[in-house]
Structure 1
Amino acid sequence: MLKTHFWVNLLTISSLGFWLFLKSETFHWYLTDENIYYLLARNLGFATLPYRDFFYANPPFLLILLKISGFLFHWQVAGLRIIPIGAVLVSSWSIHRLLKRQIGLLLAIPLWIFLFSYISLRASTHATGINVTLMFIFLAYLFVREGRTTWGAVAFSLGLLTKFYSITALPALLLGVFLVGGPDRKKKILVFAGIVGVSQILLAVFGTLLGGKAFWEMNLWYHLAKPESASNDFVAVFSRLFDRNVMSFLVFLLCLAFGGGSLLALKRQGKPLRPPSEIRAWFWVGGVNFLTVLLFLAIQKRVFDFYFLLFLPSIIFLLGGILWFGTQIEWGEDLRKRFALHGGLLAISGFLLLQPILPMNWRVMMRDPQSSPVAYWDHERRNLDELVEWGKKLDFPPGTTVFGDSATTPLFVLGTDFKIALNEADTNSMRFRAGYPPPEEFIQRLEESRVNMLMVRTSLRADGKETLNGMFLIQEFGEYLKKEFQPAASLEMNDRTKVYLLARKPVNE
């Protein structure tokens, strides 16, 4: 048994080591929404608070974590990456603890799905909150499994204080408390629900005191008012994710075949097919979590790729239960067949999951560029460091105010002496299309503040023409840009993306 534990621990540590090696490519700035969170976290303070002083459509805990990390590491990208990287490591440790005793070395497959699925690997160092949310959810499951209901409730409450979509795990967690709670299960359910309820009441009171009506507008009504998007409906996003994560689906099907074959072998050996209570709990919890996330996605007007990561707890538990059957087969004194079967399953799973990670010309499968339009390494190399370096060389007075594209402007301000206009880093087009606030009202505020500059990001279309991105596709902002501003500097970041810094036109124009 000790020898088995050693190999299981070694396999987990080796997997995490390889994951960290891959993520060593991430210590640079990205072209993502995480830059919004970084700038909001840096500006966070007693004089600049969410809801009251700037738009923030989430609970505040993620900003607090990023504020601490940024302060400790002087807002360097490597230090800020500690939050999502640390969250993934804690989640991996939780998965290891949850599955190790029951399925041994086979826990590597659910762990690899968590670490190396395309969508998971790609998002695992983005500081937008999904990694921290999953960390608290996995910790909550672990604490519940170990009978530490209070700690489970605290962990889950912290998840809700990070992102509200953590709520998708609540039914499965309550079911978990019921299934493993023993004679005191009713009391434990009340304790769990009570702690979670109190945390949300405190958040509501704190948010209302801080932002009043704005807290509810940003955290409730805005999400309900988000405009629909054909490219972001459930079917479109699932189709896109299936193409990029097809190897993970194949691994899941392989495990299903392994589990089905194991059931037949157990039946031939005359062994009971009904799993013990803990394994049955995995199936119940995984199934309920799956249905809850599916319902959550079905009611969303816009579905984002990272929402599908909320299925990961379901996949982990369901795979764990399926693989358990393979650990119950009697092999007699000759264990070579077991090693061959389990080792072969691990080898094939690892081979499949490696395919999207490898450069295109190294792959055995997925060699058609259309089947994997955005390779992992291509994504990691979407480097924005040059934007910061370019900004430092520009000759403008310190404190010059700038406003614009939500993916680039916050990072530009974070790395230079420019100042974000109106403290508004989150300028995603959805908030303006939803009316929080209407574009005309926001433009009036910009004019009252006499914002000095705008930052615009353009993309090159297939016909060779440049097109605006984000908020400047909204008619009012596009007209405001053309009427009041003119190009002052530009940076061509790659063959398809360009950034413009625009200054106000002279008054006589």
Structure 2
Amino acid sequence: MTKKIWSYVFVGLSVSGFLLFKFSNLYFRFGDGNAYIYMAQAILAGDMPYSDFFLADPPFFLLFLLPFKLIFGNHLIWFQILPAILESGTAILLFLILRNRSNKFAFLAPAIYLFSFTVASTSDFLTGLQLAVFLMVTAIFANERRRPVISGFLWTASFLTKLYILPAYLGFIIYLYLRGERCDLKKIMIGMGIGLGLIMLPFFLASPQKVFDYMVMHQFSRPKGLNKVDVFGFFLAREWLLITLGIVGAYFLRRSYLFYSWILTLAFFIFFKDIYYLYLGSLMPYLVLFSLILIDKFWSLVNWTRNLVKVVLVLLIIFVPHAFVGYAKDFSTRGRFTNLYEIGDYVRTLPDALPLYGSHEVAPLIALASGRELFGNFIDTNAQAFGSGAQDLSAVSGALAEAGGYMVGRVSHYPEFGIFDGGYGGYFSEEIFQKYCQRVKEFADTGNEISNQIVIYRCKK
């Protein structure tokens, strides 16, 4: 009984310590989350995703944000607490899954998960990853509790948050099919049908062609992204111990649905042409589960394996804090957007009512802070949206110049090196920019990254 109480205390301290750190370091961040917040406001104003604005993802993350937009209102900083809360929920579920399997080391799961470099760093940003992973792990928990309909619904909500969860779900389905568990498979399908009907069907009926173009064609047409060797190398360098333990643990669980979900996700990331480090965060729950199941198994074998576990535990005691300190020292300040309201106040004073357009990392949040609208509901201006053909760069740029508007650029401007206004070309035509756009005001880029200025340009023919 005493051990059980202390395990709950350790879990509570791990989660509360993580939340305390995150809540005491709340900052606006450059990133996709700013576009999602604006999209949530657009929906509340009566616009529909796909029909009225481009959305590359399924819609569930936006639906999730709607009540929070109503609650938070213009207190935009409060959106930054959501990733940490969702990750804390995931950590608790990992503990419960392992505890239900009578794993003696279940209490370690929240600390290992939350203070890993990957979770600590990605939870600084509102991306949808955290919700997708939380729903995925909740689906796993529901399956462990023999609630297949609920599990099917949660799996569906998860991949309707981020499509890169879909391979994990397919692995789960393949496992059930190969095992001949027809009854559970049928109930899982019922749950999926309910999820698709409630979440996706209304948007599909409203605009079937755009849903297909944006969610399917765009994903396979977008240009190749980062070098995969660099992405996986970065992940390996920061999570090598968990990856090593996880791979060994996965071998012992190769007949488990967890293994099927994990291996299909890994295969997808290896073969899909455009992945980012963020995506690999969806592997972390599996690595934590596999690692602690392995540790528990080896603890229960013979003396030498128990001694090996002791060595591994010492390594974890060193590795986890070291990884978190590395994040806090070198990465936690990256992407901070600390002068939002300074820029918003300036934009509010501009003498005309022209709309804003620009980098999806900054323009939507500046629009919300200043009370200005985004031109033509062009919210997600990620270069991939134009590179895939889902949006027309020349047409959008020409329309802005014709109507008149302010373009917000997050640029690299180093005249001493011959670099002028670099970086806007992914979301605005360079030819039109050179002809019709003039600098109005520049601000410091506070993200500690390559770009060094946030610039307001006035574009008008």
Indicate whether 1:58 and 2:65 are aligned. Answer: no
Equivalents in 1 of 2:43, 2:413: separation in Å?
35
| Residue matched to 2:111 | 112
Equivalents in 2 of 1:436, 1:344: separation in Å?
52
Equivalents in 2 of 1:21, 1:444: separation in Å?
47
Indicate whether 1:451 and 2:423 are aligned. Answer: no
**Contact 1:70/1:79 (<8 A) preserved:** no
Distance change >3 Å, CA 194–CA 185, structure 1 → 2: same
Partner-residue secondary structure (3-state), 1:81: helix
**Contact 1:141/1:173 (<8 A) preserved:** no
- Aligned runs of 1:78-89 on 2, under 5 Å? 78-89=77-88
**Cα distance, 1:256 vs structure 2:** 8.1
**Contact 2:22/2:81 (<8 A) preserved:** no
Larger Rg: 1
Distance change >3 Å, CA 457–CA 233, structure 1 → 2: same
* Aligned residue among 358, 364, 372 for 1:404: 358
Equivalents in 2 of 1:174, 1:439: separation in Å?
40
| Residue matched to 2:15 | 16
Distance change >3 Å, CA 428–CA 236, structure 1 → 2: same
Equivalents in 1 of 2:245, 2:153: separation in Å?
36
Which letter does structure 2 place at the counterpart of 1:235?
V
**Contact 2:242/2:287 (<8 A) preserved:** no
Indicate whether 1:212 and 2:167 are aligned. Answer: no
- Aligned runs of 1:119-268 on 2, under 5 Å? 119-174=118-173, 185-200=181-196, 205-229=201-225, 232-243=226-237, 245=238, 248-253=239-244
| Residue matched to 2:391 | 437
Amino-acid identity (%): 18
| Residue matched to 2:442 | 490
Deviations 1:202-236 (A, max 9, x none): 6554223222311111111111100113xx13222
Deviations 1:118-167 (A, max 9, x none): 12211124221111001111011111111111111121121122222221
Equivalents in 1 of 2:71, 2:454: separation in Å?
31
Q: CA RMSD in A?
A: 3.1
**Contact 2:400/2:459 (<8 A) preserved:** no
404-413 or 293-302, larger mean C-alpha shift: 293-302
TM-score computed with the length of structure 2 as normaliser: 0.88
**Cα distance, 1:54 vs structure 2:** 0.6
Partner-residue secondary structure (3-state), 1:357: helix
Equivalents in 2 of 1:283, 1:461: separation in Å?
56
| Residue matched to 1:276 | none
Indicate whether 1:502 and 2:457 are aligned. Answer: yes
**Contact 2:222/2:387 (<8 A) preserved:** yes
**Contact 2:413/2:421 (<8 A) preserved:** no
| Residue matched to 1:472 | 425
Partner-residue secondary structure (3-state), 1:491: strand
Point out where structure 2 has 5 or more consecutive residues left out of the alignment: none
Equivalents in 2 of 1:30, 1:399: separation in Å?
26
**Cα distance, 1:462 vs structure 2:** 11
Partner-residue secondary structure (3-state), 1:223: helix
**Contact 1:160/1:167 (<8 A) preserved:** yes
Deviations 1:163-199 (A, max 9, x none): 22221221343367679x9xx9421211102321453
**Cα distance, 1:238 vs structure 2:** 0.7
Which letter does structure 2 place at the counterpart of 1:53?
D
TM-score computed with the length of structure 1 as normaliser: 0.80
| Residue matched to 2:339 | 386
Distance change >3 Å, CA 206–CA 469, structure 1 → 2: farther
| Residue matched to 1:350 | 317
- Aligned runs of 1:30-69 on 2, under 5 Å? 30-45=29-44, 47-69=46-68
**Cα distance, 1:320 vs structure 2:** 3.0
**Cα distance, 1:403 vs structure 2:** 0.6
Distance change >3 Å, CA 483–CA 23, structure 1 → 2: same
**Contact 2:59/2:199 (<8 A) preserved:** no
Which letter does structure 1 place at the counterpart of 2:317?
G
**Contact 1:226/1:301 (<8 A) preserved:** no
Deviations 1:239-259 (A, max 9, x none): 22223x1xx3135546889x8
Partner-residue secondary structure (3-state), 2:256: helix
Aligned residues: 455
**Cα distance, 1:484 vs structure 2:** 0.8
| Residue matched to 2:374 | 420
**Cα distance, 1:440 vs structure 2:** 2.0
**Contact 1:283/1:321 (<8 A) preserved:** no
Equivalents in 1 of 2:369, 2:287: separation in Å?
39
Distance change >3 Å, CA 254–CA 297, structure 1 → 2: closer
Equivalents in 2 of 1:102, 1:444: separation in Å?
60
**Contact 2:50/2:210 (<8 A) preserved:** yes
Equivalents in 2 of 1:469, 1:59: separation in Å?
32
Which letter does structure 1 place at the counterpart of 2:169?
L
Partner-residue secondary structure (3-state), 1:209: helix
Equivalents in 2 of 1:385, 1:465: separation in Å?
27
Distance change >3 Å, CA 438–CA 452, structure 1 → 2: closer
| Residue matched to 1:271 | none
